[in-house]
Structure 1
Amino acid sequence: MQDTVRRILTARVYDVAIESPLDPLPRLSARLGRPVLQKREDLQPVFSFKIRGAYNKVAGLDAASLARGVICASAGNHAQGLALAATRRGAVSTIVMPVTTPAIKVAAVRARGGNVVLHGETFDEAYAHARAIEAETGAVFVHPFDDPEVIAGQGTVGLEIMRQHSGPIEAVFVPIGGGGLASGVAAIVKFLRPETRVIGVEPVDAATMKTAIDAGRVVTLNSVGVFADGVAVLRAGDETFRLCKDLLDDIILVDTDAICAAIKDIFDDSRAVAEPSGALALAGLKAWAALNPCTDNDAALIAINSGANVNFDRLRHIAERAEIGEGAEALLAVALPDERGAYARFLRLLDGRSVTEFNYRWAPDGAAHFFVGVALRSGPHEKEDLIATLQTSGYRVEDMSDNETAKLHVRYMVGGRAAGLEGERILRFQFPERPGAFLRFLNALQPAWALTLFHYRNHGDDVGRVLAGIQVPPSELNALTEALNDLGYPYVDETDNPASRLFLDGV
């Protein structure tokens, strides 16, 4: 830690970075009953903290190294940070990006002086190509997180927090991808105020650092969720793992809905739009505060808003999920007798709550199955109490609020039941966003296998979300599994998911 602290105290970042403000979140503070502040790294010139580490690394290079140029592989904020840092130091920068990188990000890197090389369909392929260029040209490779100088640059965020808030700080919450920001912030905070907790936050489907710490060694995950793409890292760094293992007090895991709710909290209080990884720390702060009652009304909780590089297209998805994430909406599958007056009786049981969504289609089984969204008013147990009331009144109810397939697909597809359809498998895929992906999927299916359902939904990510139905004889299920494994698209069999069974199954 001592070496990291020394590097942080001597880091050179302010040629390009600003000392970002530490702003209060008054509405959220009132809700939680304790002071909550956000560190505004979204206001940096590249709209992300990444400029700090990239510039500190480049600023420390000698003239001979700068003359060889710098290189990295990145499809996100590190790419922009390194491009700007190199331009300011008069060095040539090469940024290798996957061919699937959204055009807006490619344009942003070029606008900051970076020479973009598009190569490969995945980050791993781009990374390998960048390393090959490094070996061929002698350019200096700048790692996005596992480098002492990069870690030190990111650590200046923590140094500023300690200087900006002289009062007591109960905890600082830091997003974790590879761990560069978390390890730098933890080092300086623990050095200056060892009594202050430093808590890392990761998405539940990208728990790279927590998995490594639990295992006692760096682990490479098979896959990670891409919603919070800024922290979608398969493997933590060796140096960042060492520091985080020793210095972090805890790691909190949060889901997509909690992140969306945190984005809304930031917007409500500051009119700023954070990217998902930018709001990750605040989502963790809220989860931690719910489990840890306030013991000092003056002790602040601080979340680092790490960035604002969000595609506009994704805001639709964020808005859809924020209400669920903050417990303001319940999604329910309800069965009731398909008879006159049944709907009126159901609505009366809602006790004046607003219906946010209502999807239904007739089925010949004497019961009506519908998908309903209900606005919740207050109280941690309101949803459970409502479900109990409906069940006591004779309704069959299943909670779909945490059912990913229901929220992504089925809510838009109620009515897709097909009478007499046998042998149908319902599968949820992640398709790469590139031309020919759907055709490749179709070509993987044998001619005798019928495509019975196909629903595609994209939210500005690098992958498209697809729900597909495939009719396959039971004797050929193994062949289907082999074909899909060869295809290589990540998928989950959702045939037995209650959302599929109630609203899509053949009858």
Structure 2
Amino acid sequence: MSETEKYFPKLGDITRANIRINHITKHTPLQKNLNLSEEFEANILLKREDLQAVRSYKIRGAFNKIAQLTKEELQKGVVCASAGNHAQGVAFSCRQLGIRGKIYMPATTPRQKIRQVEMFGKENVEVILTGDTYDAAELAALNDCRQTGMAFIHPFDDPQIIEGQATVALEILQDIKEPVDYLFVPVGGGGLAAGLGAYFKQVSPQTKIIGVEPAGAPSMQKSLEAGKVVELPEIDKFVDGAAVKKVGEISFAVCQKVIDQMVTIPEGRICTKILELYNHDAIVMEPAGALSIAALDLFREKLAGKNVVCIVSGSNNDITRMEEIKERSLLYEGLKHYFIVRFPQRAGALRDFVDLVLGPTDDITHFEYSKKTNREKGPAVIGIEVQQKEDFNGLVQRMKENGFVYEYLNEKPDLFQFLI
């Protein structure tokens, strides 16, 4: 058995991590959500890590790791690669400890996230934009460490990072008065799931640990199925806080021992939950933050009468993403449909479409059309929003009955992404 496979977070190390970070991190609330509790007939509690100073749990592991560096290492400074929450946790830690930090971020990182890192780190942090992907930024960061001797702060694959994240579990079990039946944990690289799972398995072994990944990046699920770490060739990066091609070797070895079940959630379903939580409870979540709540539907039959904890991992959501979140939700729920419609090139063709095809509550939300010369028919890209999922069948039937030739784009992702 390798040293990686032997490692398992100890209660004493997690307790010391909690003491080490408690003057920096918040003991975040464990809140009962009345709407979810009523819907699932269970006691649904949200662990609000989105209320940390950096709006995610990442500050726990980052500070726990950096605070344990030697005096010589602290004098040299630290380096990390991240496009989001880990970068903010490292930047915040650098400022609190008065040390120098270099944050490598992909050049494609939204300006809002860069500003957040600069705000938390102030003069202690240098942000370096390089490459188009996280992998390119990480490679540049590791090269910097080799040249300068600065310490690399990994986002998830490090025992001290894992033990810092495990303090979330310590707080949950301090605050809850009854046994926890289910714990839903978002999974990216696996650091949070490894830490929480290890603590619960030692203190509350009856709790079922459910790991939740986005369907477009099921790296932990595939690795657990294979019995080893698997690198995915491609991922959907939409759930950026939990979308990794490859989980950590150390975190994977722990997750093998502590996760009872892995599930994946479609990105559109996650978007629906983000909107529901905002509209019903005024809670703003990033996509990764909503993962655990989006998984509850898969366990509806098992949750009645149970005590259930969902980790809300973060709320660093750029407001400019809300239109995409709404769009993905509508597409997933079957309420938004895109077509290429070949209109006869004659006056009144569009009016006929509106009068004869659209239902009383259907709404055209997207329309692109250019009249072509020397052609009988002109193609238009049309987006239609319906009120009920079942309205789609009537819409398609009326197009056929009235002779409108169409191509349905929702089922052709390559063409859909190119045109819309």
Same fold (TM over 0.5): yes
8 Å contact kept, 1:146–1:239: yes
Corresponding residue to 2:106 among 98, 107, 114: 98
1:462 alignment partner in structure 2: none
Call closer, same or farther: CA 1:16–1:404 in 2, change over 3 Å.
Answer: farther
Q: Look up the match of 1:190.
A: 201
Asked if 2 retains the 8 angstrom alpha-carbon contact of 1:330 and 1:375, the reply is no
Letter aligned with residue 384 of structure 2:
V
Range with greater deviation from structure 2 (44-53 or 123-132): 123-132
Residue 300 in structure 1 maps to residue 325 in structure 2:
no
Structure 2 CA distance, aligned partners of 1:342 and 1:36? 47
From the superposition, tell whether residues 324 and 35 of structure 1 become closer, same or farther in structure 2 (CA, over 3 Å).
farther
> Structure 1, residues 64-98: CA drift from partner, whole Å, max 9, x if none?
22222221122211111112112222322222223
Letter in 2 for 1:243: V
Q: What amino acid is aligned across from residue 375 of structure 1 in structure 2? A: Q
Give 2:128's aligned residue.
117
1:137 aligns with 2:145: no
Structure holding more helix per residue = 2
Give the aligned CA root-mean-square deviation in angstroms: 3.3
CA distance 1:324–1:36, change in 2 (3 Å): farther
TM-score by length of 1: 0.69
| Match of residue 260 from structure 1 | 271
- Compute the displacement of 1:328 (Å): 6.9
Q: Read off the aligned partner of 2:150 and give its amino acid letter.
A: A
Change (3 A) 1:191 1:356: farther
- 1:387 maps to 393
3-state SS in 2 of match to 1:96:
strand
Aligned to 1:456: none
Equivalent AA in structure 1 for residue 11 of structure 2: V
Structure 2 residue aligned with 1:329: 335
Answer yes or no: is 1:6 the counterpart of 2:12: yes
Count of aligned positions: 397
CA distance in 2, matches of 1:402, 1:285: 27
Shift of 1:343: 6.0
Which of the residues 144, 148, 169 maps onto 2:180? 169
2: CA distance, partners of 1:172 / 1:398 = 44
Correspondent of 2:285 among 264, 274, 279? 274
Secondary structure, aligned partner of 1:251: strand
**1:361-388 Cα shifts (integer Å, max 9, x gaps):** 7995799996532112xxxxx63x8638
TM-score by length of 2: 0.82
Change (3 A) 1:61 1:34: same
Which of residues 27, 30, 48 is equivalent to 1:40?
48
Residues 1:131 and 1:343: Cα distance change in structure 2 (over 3 Å)? closer
8 A Cα contact 1:4 1:184, kept in partner: no
Separation of aligned partners in 1, 2:416 and 2:65: 43
Q: Any idea what the Cα deviations from partners look like across 1:198-237, whole Å, max 9, x if unmatched?
A: 1111111111111111111111222221111112212110
* 1:123 positional shift: 2.3
1:84-483 map, 5 Å: 84-111=92-119, 112=121, 113-286=124-297, 288-289=298-299, 292-294=300-302, 296-297=304-305, 299-325=306-332, 327=333, 329-331=335-337, 346=357, 353-355=361-363, 357=365, 364=376, 371-376=383-388, 383=390, 387=393, 404=413, 408=417, 410=419
Q: Distance in 1 between matches of 2:56 and 2:341?
A: 47
Q: 1:119 Cα shift? A: 3.1
- What is residue 81 of structure 1 aligned with on the other side? 89
Q: Contact (CA 8 Å) 2:364, 2:382: kept in 1 or not?
A: no
Deviation at 1:345, TM superposition (A): 6.1
Check the 8 A contact 2:338/2:408 in 1, yes or no.
yes
Asked if the contact 2:40–2:303 (Cα under 8 Å) also holds between the matched residues in 1, the reply is: no
* Residues 260 and 408 (structure 1), Cα distance of their counterparts in 2 relative to 1, 3 Å cut: farther
Unpaired segments of 5 or more residues in structure 1? 377-381, 413-507
**Relative to 1, partners in 2 of residues 1:227 and 1:344: Cα closer, same or farther, differing over 3 Å?**
same
Take 2:260 and 2:231, find their aligned partners in 1: how far apart are those partners? Answer: 23
The 2-side partners of 1:278 and 1:406 are apart by 30
Inter-partner Cα distance in structure 2 for 1:120 and 1:367 = 39
**Maintained 8 Å contact 2:179/2:204:** no
The superposition leaves residues 92-150 of structure 1 with CA deviations (integer Å, 9 ceiling, x where unpaired) of 22222233333332232222232223333332232222222212222111111000010
Residue aligned with 1:293, SS: helix
Gaps of 5+ in 2: 1-6
Cα distance, 1:257 vs. partner?
A: 0.9
- With over 3 angstroms needed to count, the CA separation of the structure-2 counterparts of 1:283 and 1:404, relative to structure 1, is farther
Q: 1:360 to 1:189 in 2, by over 3 A?
A: same
In 2 relative to 1, CA 364–22 (structure 1 residues): closer, same or farther, beyond 3 Å? farther
* 1:455 corresponds to: none
Give 1:250 deviation, angstroms. 1.4
Say if 2:26 is the partner of 1:18. yes
SS in structure 2 opposite 1:154? helix
CA 1:366 to 1:301, structure 2 compared with 1: closer, same or farther past 3 Å?
same
The residue number in structure 2 matching 1:485 is: none
